[in-house]
């Protein structure tokens, strides 16, 4: 009964949304490929400052991250300093003594882009001032500061779909009216099926899940418990909603945190193994998910840097076709995920979810619609693999490993 009512509400909602006239005032597609960058929440929470942002911008360049495509530095919650007597939003004067424009200017001087966080209610999730009823003022202020990306949360807002669509729609309209091309990230945790309406209100990405914790699997899924595997399962069926300028967002990369984050470590999430972090990167690349790092990029281990800068997986994530991988095969703990690429080839993930056993996972080339001799490249090993049987490919996959291959017909 309730399910039926929710479904019909969603349908009526959609019909209305299609009629909402929101048009950007410039001709470029925002976020034509999934956004790549770094976001402050998992590691720093409130301990952010002008000097930290500057150090991170320096690190993005010095550590080769900018070179492989990372471009945004995004401040999440707790940068705020209230409002002035005219209602203009202010940054925290202690954390950002020279104001936010100076911070954004520095990020831009490095050839990078700057993002900021707000919430479309009276308060943010961490209790700072939100943008409700200040949509035009905040959009204008963000534009003046030189913001390129806005993450907009939904804490303290009513639960119904209508309010979410209305509030996000109104705010994005104000953002577009500034004329500054700012990517807009909707963050209502997938609770109101934002993949159905996020793009209609001109959002470029939308969270599909609760906050991701720094763990492989929690064994339960709710606000507080969500591991890499729980988030992954919730992407099944959402692939049709993804494309250039409209991305499903299964939340930040936990790679390299090793349990050192704050709320990312909540409820016993104590970090992942290197193999598990590799799997998150491979899967997020296949899913065309935003690649938003959260570890301390000023000081990365050799493995963390190797994973985050894998150029062949980044190319899969940034592929111009913008398709999201589908789970084309599931046999207990063995899964195959496949993403078509612009050059006619496929990126294919072989995932072993078993906790203990190595599995041999077999792909039949017909599952990709390919007939003939295959050309196969391993995107973790960075080498071509020899194919013994024309129609079949069997890979040995370690527990919690996701091997990713690029597969095409030999020309
Ligand atoms: C929510 C969001 C997180 C983060 C925090 C900040 O939980 O889902 O990603 O932005 O708020 O308070």
Distance CA 286, CA 324 (A): 6
**153 CA distance to ligand 1 middle (Å):** 7
What gap in Å lies between CA 55 and CA 58, rounded to an integer?
Answer: 5
CB atoms within 10 A of CB 368: 20
Classify residue 339 by burial, with Cβ atoms within 10 Å: 0-12, 13-18, 19+: buried
β-sheet bridge partners, residue 37: 72, 292
141 and 223 share one domain = yes
Which pLDDT score is estimated for 28?
80
Instruction: State in Å: Cα 190 to ligand 1 middle.
Output: 13
What's the pLDDT tens digit per position in 107-149? 999 999 999 999 999 999 999 999 999 999 999 999 999 999 9
pLDDT tens per residue, range 291-308: 999 999 999 999 999 999
- 37-46 per-position pLDDT tens digit: 999 999 999 9
Give me the DSSP letters along 272-302: --HHHHHHHHHHHHHTT--EEE-S-TTS--H
What's the mean pLDDT in 18-28? 50
Q: 25 in a domain, yes or no? A: no
**What single-letter DSSP state applies at residue 330?**
E
CATH code: domain of residue 139: 3.20.20.70
Q: Is the pTM of this model over 0.85?
A: yes
Considering the domain boundaries, does residue 10 fall inside one? no
CA 115 to mean position of chain CA atoms: 14
Cβ 44 under 6 angstroms from ligand 1? no
Cα 385 to Cα 3, 186, 286, 375: the distances in Å are 48, 41, 20, 8
Q: Catalytic positions, please?
A: 153, 211
Do 306 and 219 sit in the same domain of this protein?
yes
Backbone torsion region of residue 229, taken as left when φ is above 0, otherwise alpha when ψ lies between -120 and 50, otherwise beta: alpha
Q: How far apart are CA 283 and CA 289, in angstroms?
A: 9
Report whether residue 76 contacts ligand 1, using a CB cutoff of 6 Å. Answer: yes
**Residue position matching structure tokens 């209602």:** 87
The per-residue pLDDT for range 348-379, each reduced to its tens digit, is: 999 999 999 999 999 999 999 998 889 999 99
Whether residue 178 is found in the same domain as residue 254 = yes
Confidence of residue 8 (pLDDT cuts 50, 70, 90): low
Q: Is 126 in the pocket of ligand 1 (CB under 6 A)?
A: yes
**One domain for residues 332 and 305:** no
237: in domain? yes
d(CA 6, CA 266): 31
DSSP 8-state symbol, 325: P
User: Has residue 13 been placed in a domain?
Assistant: no
Under a CB-based contact definition with an 8 Å cutoff, are residues 349 and 406 in contact?
no
Question: Which of the listed residues 289, 317, 345 is the one where a domain comes to its end?
Answer: 317
Q: At 386, which CATH number?
A: 2.60.40.1180
Task: Name the residue at shortest CA distance from atom 9 of ligand 1.
Answer: 211
Burial of 2 (0-12, 13-18, 19+ CB in 10 A): exposed
Within 13 A of 19's CA, how many CA atoms are on the CB side? Answer: 4
Per the structure, the count of domains in the chain is: 2
Whether residue 139 is found in the same domain as residue 268: yes
Atom number, ligand 1, closest to the C-alpha of residue 117: 10
| Residue 218 counted as domain residue | yes
For ligand 1, say whether the CB of 187 is within 6 Å of any of its atoms: yes
- What is the best residue among 77, 124, 249, 293 to mutate for testing ligand 1's pocket, by most ligand atoms within 8 Å of CB? 77
Domain boundary among 317, 340, 369: 317
How far lies 135's CA from each of 19, 85, 170, 302, in Å? Answer: 21, 16, 7, 43
Q: How far apart are CA 146 and CA 107, in angstroms?
A: 10
Assess whether 384 and 248 both reside in one domain: no
Residues 298 and 333 in one domain: no
What confidence tens digit (pLDDT) does each residue in 254-292 have? 999 999 999 999 999 999 999 999 999 999 999 999 999
Q: Which percentage of the chain shows pLDDT scores above 90?
A: 90
Q: Are residues 336 and 312 in the same domain?
A: no
Q: Does any ligand 1 atom lie closer than 6 A to the CB of residue 185?
A: no
Identify the CA nearest to 153 among candidates 131, 134, 169.
131
pLDDT at 19: 41
Are 157 and 46 in a shared domain? yes
Distance CA 260, CA 256 (A): 9
Residue 382, SS3?
Answer: coil
The finding on whether 41 has its CB within 6 A of some atom of ligand 1 is yes
> What is the distance between the alpha carbons of residues 270 and 275, in angstroms, rounded to a whole number?
15
Enter the tokens of residue 341. 């690429």
Same structural domain, 361 and 259: no
- Please indicate, yes or no, if residue 104 is contained in any of the structural domains: yes
Judged against a pLDDT cut of 80, whether residue 20 lies above it is answered with no
Pocket test for ligand 1, best of 152, 211, 253, 266 (most atoms within 8 A of CB): 211
Q: Give 68: exposed, middle or buried? Use CB within 10 Å, 0-12, 13-18, 19+.
A: middle
Atom 6 in ligand 1: residue holding the nearest Cα: 77
- Domain end (from 285, 317, 349): 317
313 within some domain: yes
303 and 403 in a single domain? The answer is: no
CA max distance for the chain:
73
Does residue 91 form part of some domain?
yes
Token pair in block for residue 169? 């729609």
> What is the H or E stretch that residue 166 is in?
helix 161-177
Give me the domain span that covers residue 243. Answer: 30-317
Same domain, 378 and 282: no
Q: Report whether pLDDT(2) > 50.
A: no
Report whether pLDDT(18) > 50: no
Name which of 291, 246, 323, 201 is nearest 30 in CA terms. Answer: 246
- Give the per-residue pLDDT at 1: 45
Sign of CA dihedral 254, 260, 265, 268: positive
Is residue 9 within 8 Å of residue 27, measured between CB atoms? no
């Amino acid at each position: 009964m309730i399910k039926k009512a929710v479904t019909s509400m969603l349908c009526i909602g959609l019909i209305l949304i299609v009629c909402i006239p929101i048009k950007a005032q410039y001709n470029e597609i925002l976020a034509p490929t999934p956004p790549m960058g770094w976001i402050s929440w998992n590691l720093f929470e409130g301990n952010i400052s002008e000097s930290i942002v500057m150090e991170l911008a320096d690190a993005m360049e010095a550590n080769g991250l900018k070179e492989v495509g990372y471009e945004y530095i995004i401040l999440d919650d707790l940068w705020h300093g209230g409002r002035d007597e005219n209602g203009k939003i202010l940054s925290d004067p202690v954390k950002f003594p020279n104001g936010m424009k100076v911070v954004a200017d520095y990020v831009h001087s490095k050839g990078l882009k700057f993002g900021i966080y707000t919430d479309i209610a009276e308060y943010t999730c961490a209790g700072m001032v939100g943008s409700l009823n200040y949509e035009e003022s905040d959009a204008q202020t963000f534009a003046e500061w030189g913001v390129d990306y806005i993450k907009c949360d939904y804490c303290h807002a009513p639960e119904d779909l209508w309010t979410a669509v209305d509030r996000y729609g109104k705010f994005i309209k104000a953002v577009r009216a500034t004329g500054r091309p700012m990517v807009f990230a909707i963050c209502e945790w997938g609770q109101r099926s934002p993949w159905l309406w996020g793009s209609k209100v001109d959002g470029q990405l939308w969270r599909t899940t609760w906050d991701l914790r720094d763990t492989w699997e929690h064994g339960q899924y709710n606000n507080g418990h969500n591991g890499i595997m729980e988030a992954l399962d919730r992407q099944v069926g959402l692939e049709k909603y993804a494309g250039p300028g409209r991305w499903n967002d299964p939340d930040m990369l936990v790679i390299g945190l090793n349990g050192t984050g704050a709320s990312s470590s909540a409820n016993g999430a104590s970090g992942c193994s290197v193999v598990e972090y590799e799997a998150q990167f491979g899967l997020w690349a296949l899913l065309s998910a935003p690649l938003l790092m959260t570890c301390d990029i000023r000081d990365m281990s050799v493995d963390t840097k190797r994973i985050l800068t894998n150029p062949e997986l980044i190319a899969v994530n940034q592929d111009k076709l913008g398709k999201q991988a589908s789970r084309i095969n599931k046999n207990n703990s063995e899964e195959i995920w496949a993403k078509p690429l612009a050059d006619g080839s496929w990126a294919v993930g072989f995932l072993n979810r078993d906790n203990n056993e190595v599995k041999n996972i077999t792909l039949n080339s017909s599952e990709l619609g390919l007939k003939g001799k295959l050309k196969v490249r391993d995107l973790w090993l960075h080498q071509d693999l020899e194919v013994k049987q024309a129609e079949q490919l069997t890979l040995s996959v370690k527990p919690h490993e996701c091997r990713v291959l690029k597969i095409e017909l030999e020309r």
